[in-house]
Amino acid sequence: MKLASLKQGRDGRLVVVSDDLAWYADAGHICATLQAALDDWAQVGPALELLAVDLRNEAIPRARFHEHDAAAPLPRAYQWLDGSAYVNHVALVRQARGAELPESFWHDPLMYQGGSDGFLGARDAIPLADEDWGCDLEGEVVVVTGDVPLGATREQALDAIRLVGLTNDVSLRNLIPAELAKGFGFLQAKPASAFSPVFVTPEALGDWWRDGKLHRRLLVEVNGAPFGRADAGEDMTFDFGTLIAHAAKTRALGAGTIVGSGTVSNRDAEGGPGRPIADGGVGYSCLAELRTVETIQSGAAQTPYLGTGDTVRIWMEDDRHHPIFGTIEQTVG
Amino acid sequence: MKLASLKQGRDGRLVVVSDDLAWYADAGHICATLQAALDDWAQVGPALELLAVDLRNEAIPRARFHEHDAAAPLPRAYQWLDGSAYVNHVALVRQARGAELPESFWHDPLMYQGGSDGFLGARDAIPLADEDWGCDLEGEVVVVTGDVPLGATREQALDAIRLVGLTNDVSLRNLIPAELAKGFGFLQAKPASAFSPVFVTPEALGDWWRDGKLHRRLLVEVNGAPFGRADAGEDMTFDFGTLIAHAAKTRALGAGTIVGSGTVSNRDAEGGPGRPIADGGVGYSCLAELRTVETIQSGAAQTPYLGTGDTVRIWMEDDRHHPIFGTIEQTVG
């Protein structure tokens, strides 16, 4: 089942979307918003699944689904927790600034509490008041949970995953060092993230979803050029069950909690830093990683951060090259 | 006007509470929840104010208000941002561990993004799975905002303040050093906070609310003994307008954002570390500050953190010694 929220009010209007993303059926008679559905998933989830079957069978009224009409599936959420599960990415960033990677980073996940009071839709512009802030994209996989009890195990956490999607976790790189030094986490450095037009149930992903990971390539373009195609199922040191259990160690998590993977990143097949796609590598899911590789190789970053008018695209394809979650496609400014 | 949410479902049931906290009038015919009221404050706020007048005049049905029936006024929120506005507190903590206070801390606020997916009511127990985590209270002032635009000035931020209240920002002190070292902010170290039974409009606070600060003593008891009576209007380096504007530098803040002051803390009148109330001082609003003073004076902390069965009370009084916001009164475990 694929779900989206059409732009309407602060919380959008819940719709069920066809597998090919061409059509939607209104779900308002079942549940007004996705948050309300997550609040009462045991009742509402099966009713939405029946609606999805009817939509597939063309047994109910349907209308054309346009991705630019979609808000973030949760236009605002009660919680957004972003991990750094691809430790390869963290190791590269550390290497570039000559800092050692603490051994603990391989078994104790990095995760920050992100702002969740207002997210961007997949086609919304990225607001940027100052180019000197160093605006970057971050292509990530996310999951949405139901209620997770305090002290949940990895297995309980995996059972609580209701939906899977993609995000562009917009980052202001030049504001990060000062906030890291303060130790209180990211506040100004992490403005609103954007999410894929639809979120998908794990069941509908079939074999692509296994072991708490999404086994598909994350495709990233910057200004129309291929930039990344890392496999989200590879080199993910912490699966989503582990990330969720980490967050639930000292507190319960409410339904509608969004948990992010951190920037998807693969080790290079030959062992060194990842290569650009043009050089036969899988590329990158954020500019910072390429800049890091440039720094390691030549002493300085060459690729600039995003400026006004730059565009980014982030998506994932099925075997017929159709986007699974729709496409995040944003212009800066 | 004083507002509360009686326990009901995930978001409570909005009521208007009398100035003396003895009575409430149901607000359901105007607005079901406090979040919905904040979403549409220009319309709903004045209607609630009229209801408060009717309640004061005994012109409408009313019922007894019991603080133990109150959930947090926002039982869950889209954003919880906690500052450290009383830099005296930060300076003491640093002094105790022999770390210098960066000069920037006097003009660049510390603030973290806190978990907001589920808050505790004022009389709810504090869940604590492991006493070794070092459970502490933190008595703070909070405000709730309407929509705040990206790049808001301090004056715009002050205009966006809708409600004022108190919190017990529960902290797990022994988990903080490791999370500070990771730089990604607090996740496991900050379980659910509790809030005062009622939140109050700035207008209803009269002269106590001025310059973006709340000029009343914050009263704190631990296990029935007086522990703190610091004046929240004193030594607050960053007022709420400045804190909100800091958060809004790179992104808009959604209606219903809660912003905290950080632990209320006053300098000692004689210049040294603050003294306990029993020694003529104003005491403390968290155990960590007393433990810090003990460490500075004797080389080691003597006061233990909270264990199962310990109680904390946090409140503020009007001139007739009636609680303004009701009383946070919690038992651990």
Residues 6+ apart with CB under 8 A from A128: A135, A306, A308, A332, A333
- Could you tell me if B93 and B288 are in contact, meaning their C-beta atoms sit under 8 angstroms apart? yes
- Could you tell me if A206 and A129 are in contact, meaning their C-beta atoms sit under 8 angstroms apart? no
CB pairs under 8 A between A and B: 127
Q: How far is residue B9's CA from residue A45's CA, in Å, rounded to a whole number? A: 19
Q: Is B234 exposed, middle or buried (0-12, 13-18, 19+ CB in 10 A)?
A: middle
Q: Residue A185's pLDDT is what?
A: 94
In this predicted structure, the answer to whether residue A270 has a pLDDT above a threshold of 80 is no
B257 and A186 within 8 Å at the Cβ level: the answer is no
Q: Which of B185, B192, B253 sits opposite A251 (nearest CB)?
A: B192
A79 and B116 within 8 Å at the Cβ level: the answer is yes
Q: Residue A242's pLDDT is what?
A: 98
Structure tokens at A309: 């008018």
With contacts defined as CB-CB under 8 Å, which chain A residues touch B244? none
Helix (H, G, I), strand (E, B) or coil at B221: strand
Q: Please choose, from the candidates A315, A87, A136, the residue with its C-alpha nearest in 3D space to the C-alpha of residue A218.
A: A315
Separation in Å, CA of A196 to nearest CA in chain B: 20
B250 and A175 within 8 Å at the Cβ level: the answer is yes
For the segment B214-232, the average pLDDT, to the nearest whole number, is: 98
Residues 6+ apart with CB under 8 A from B160: B145, B146, B147, B148, B152, B244, B253
Structure tokens at A267: 């080790």
With contacts defined as CB-CB under 8 Å, which chain A residues touch B175? 250
Q: Please choose, from the candidates A217, A202, A227, A223, the residue with its C-alpha nearest in 3D space to the C-alpha of residue A285.
A: A227
In this predicted structure, the answer to whether residue B82 has a pLDDT above a threshold of 90 is yes
HSE of B202, CA atoms in CB hemisphere, 13 A: 18
Q: Residue A28's pLDDT is what?
A: 96
User: DSSP state, A101?
Assistant: P
Exposure string of B153-178, with b = 16+ CB inside 10 Å and e = fewer, is ebeebbebbbbbbbbbbbbbbbbbee
Tokens 């207002």 identify what position? A118
User: DSSP state, A286?
Assistant: S
- Could you tell me if A215 and A207 are in contact, meaning their C-beta atoms sit under 8 angstroms apart? yes
Interface test with A, best of B100, B250, B253, B257 (most A CBs within 10 A): B250
Interface test with B, best of A38, A79, A117, A150 (most B CBs within 10 A): A117
For the segment A30-58, the average pLDDT, to the nearest whole number, is: 98
- Using CA coordinates, name the residue in chain A closest to B250: A188
In this predicted structure, the answer to whether residue B272 has a pLDDT above a threshold of 80 is no
Q: Residue B70's pLDDT is what?
A: 98
With contacts defined as CB-CB under 8 Å, which chain B residues touch A184? 84, 110-112, 185-186
With contacts defined as CB-CB under 8 Å, which chain B residues touch A246? 187-188
Q: Give me the long-range contacts of B57-61 (CB less than 8 A, separation at least 24).
A: B60/B25, B61/B25, B61/B26
For the segment A245-250, the average pLDDT, to the nearest whole number, is: 98
With contacts defined as CB-CB under 8 Å, which chain B residues touch A175? 250
A318: pLDDT confidence band, cut at 50, 70 and 90?
very high
Q: Which amino acid is at B95?
A: Q
The torsion region of residue A149 among left (phi > 0), alpha (psi -120 to 50) and beta comes to beta
With contacts defined as CB-CB under 8 Å, which chain A residues touch B250? 129, 133, 172, 175, 188-189, 191
- Using CA coordinates, name the residue in chain A closest to B102: A182
What angle is formed at CA B121 by the lines to CA B119 and CA B125, rounded to 5 degrees? Answer: 95
- Using CA coordinates, name the residue in chain B closest to A90: B182
Q: Which of A39, A113, A118 sits opposite B187 (nearest CB)?
A: A113
A269: pLDDT confidence band, cut at 50, 70 and 90?
confident
For the segment B270-275, the average pLDDT, to the nearest whole number, is: 76
B88: pLDDT confidence band, cut at 50, 70 and 90?
confident
How does the average pLDDT of chain B come out, rounded? 96
Q: Residue A59's pLDDT is what?
A: 96
A186 and B113 within 8 Å at the Cβ level: the answer is yes
- Could you tell me if A30 and A58 are in contact, meaning their C-beta atoms sit under 8 angstroms apart? no
- Could you tell me if B92 and B271 are in contact, meaning their C-beta atoms sit under 8 angstroms apart? no
B151 and A129 within 8 Å at the Cβ level: the answer is yes
A290: pLDDT confidence band, cut at 50, 70 and 90?
very high
A2: pLDDT confidence band, cut at 50, 70 and 90?
very high
Q: How far is residue A274's CA from residue A192's CA, in Å, rounded to a whole number? A: 28
Q: Which of A118, A133, A254 sits opposite B117 (nearest CB)?
A: A254
B150 and A172 within 8 Å at the Cβ level: the answer is no
A253 and B129 within 8 Å at the Cβ level: the answer is no
Q: Cα–Cα distances in Å, from B4 out to A123, A227, B26, B76, B121?
A: 38, 51, 10, 13, 10
Structure tokens at B222: 């631990």
Helix (H, G, I), strand (E, B) or coil at A205: helix
* Higher per-residue confidence, A274 vs B288: B288
Q: Which of A113, A150, A257 sits opposite B185 (nearest CB)?
A: A113
Interface confidence (ipTM) of the complex: 0.96
- Could you tell me if A89 and A232 are in contact, meaning their C-beta atoms sit under 8 angstroms apart? no
Q: How far is residue B275's CA from residue B3's CA, in Å, rounded to a whole number? A: 35
With contacts defined as CB-CB under 8 Å, which chain A residues touch B117? 78-79, 253-254, 256-257
- State the DSSP H helix or E strand holding residue B64, giving kind and residue range, or none if neither: strand B63-64
For the segment B143-153, the average pLDDT, to the nearest whole number, is: 98
With contacts defined as CB-CB under 8 Å, which chain B residues touch A191? 250-251
A112 and B257 within 8 Å at the Cβ level: the answer is no
Q: How far is residue B244's CA from residue B82's CA, in Å, rounded to a whole number? A: 10
- Could you tell me if A304 and A174 are in contact, meaning their C-beta atoms sit under 8 angstroms apart? no
Separation in Å, CA of A19 to nearest CA in chain B: 31
B94: pLDDT confidence band, cut at 50, 70 and 90?
confident
For the segment A309-330, the average pLDDT, to the nearest whole number, is: 98
Tokens 């790049």 identify what position? B151
Q: Which of A79, A118, A251 sits opposite B252 (nearest CB)?
A: A118
B187 and A81 within 8 Å at the Cβ level: the answer is yes
Q: Residue A88's pLDDT is what?
A: 85
Tokens 């001025």 identify what position? B210
Structure tokens at A329: 């496609």
- Using CA coordinates, name the residue in chain B closest to A146: B117
- State the DSSP H helix or E strand holding residue B48, giving kind and residue range, or none if neither: helix B41-56
The distance in angstroms from the start CA to the end CA of chain A is: 33
Helix (H, G, I), strand (E, B) or coil at A103: helix
Residues 6+ apart with CB under 8 A from A311: A221, A222, A223, A224, A329, A330, A331, A332
Q: Residue A122's pLDDT is what?
A: 98
Q: Is A99 exposed, middle or buried (0-12, 13-18, 19+ CB in 10 A)?
A: exposed
B256 and A117 within 8 Å at the Cβ level: the answer is yes
pLDDT tens string B123-143: 999 999 999 999 999 999 999
Q: Residue B8's pLDDT is what?
A: 98
A185 and B186 within 8 Å at the Cβ level: the answer is yes
Structure tokens at A303: 């690729």
Q: How far is residue B162's CA from residue B40's CA, in Å, rounded to a whole number? A: 12
B260: pLDDT confidence band, cut at 50, 70 and 90?
very high
In this predicted structure, the answer to whether residue B297 has a pLDDT above a threshold of 90 is no
B250 and A78 within 8 Å at the Cβ level: the answer is no
Give B105-121 as a DSSP string: GGTS--EEEEP-S--B-
- Could you tell me if A192 and A76 are in contact, meaning their C-beta atoms sit under 8 angstroms apart? no
With contacts defined as CB-CB under 8 Å, which chain B residues touch A114? 113
- Using CA coordinates, name the residue in chain B closest to A9: B39
Q: How far is residue A46's CA from residue A234's CA, in Å, rounded to a whole number? A: 32
Separation in Å, CA of A254 to nearest CA in chain B: 5
A184 and B253 within 8 Å at the Cβ level: the answer is no
Q: Residue A111's pLDDT is what?
A: 97
How does the average pLDDT of chain A come out, rounded? 96
- Using CA coordinates, name the residue in chain A closest to B117: A78
Separation in Å, CA of B330 to nearest CA in chain A: 17
Find the range with the poorest average confidence among A70-79, A304-313, B180-189, B201-210.
Answer: B180-189
Q: Residue B181's pLDDT is what?
A: 87
Q: How far is residue B176's CA from residue A238's CA, in Å, rounded to a whole number? A: 22
Separation in Å, CA of B146 to nearest CA in chain A: 12
Q: Which of B127, B151, B251 sits opposite A115 (nearest CB)?
A: B251
pLDDT tens string A81-132: 999 999 988 888 788 778 888 888 999 999 999 999 999 999 999 999 999 9
Find the range with the poorest average confidence among A42-56, A94-108, B104-118.
Answer: A94-108
With contacts defined as CB-CB under 8 Å, which chain B residues touch A247? 187-188
Give A133-167 as a DSSP string: G-EE--EEEEEEE--B-TT--HHHHHHTEEEEEEE
In this predicted structure, the answer to whether residue B246 has a pLDDT above a threshold of 90 is yes
A31: pLDDT confidence band, cut at 50, 70 and 90?
very high
Q: Which of B116, B129, B257 sits opposite A150 (nearest CB)?
A: B129
Residues 6+ apart with CB under 8 A from B16: B1, B2, B3, B24, B25, B27, B48, B51, B52, B55
Residues 6+ apart with CB under 8 A from B162: B38, B41, B45, B143, B144, B145, B146, B201, B202
Separation in Å, CA of B255 to nearest CA in chain A: 8
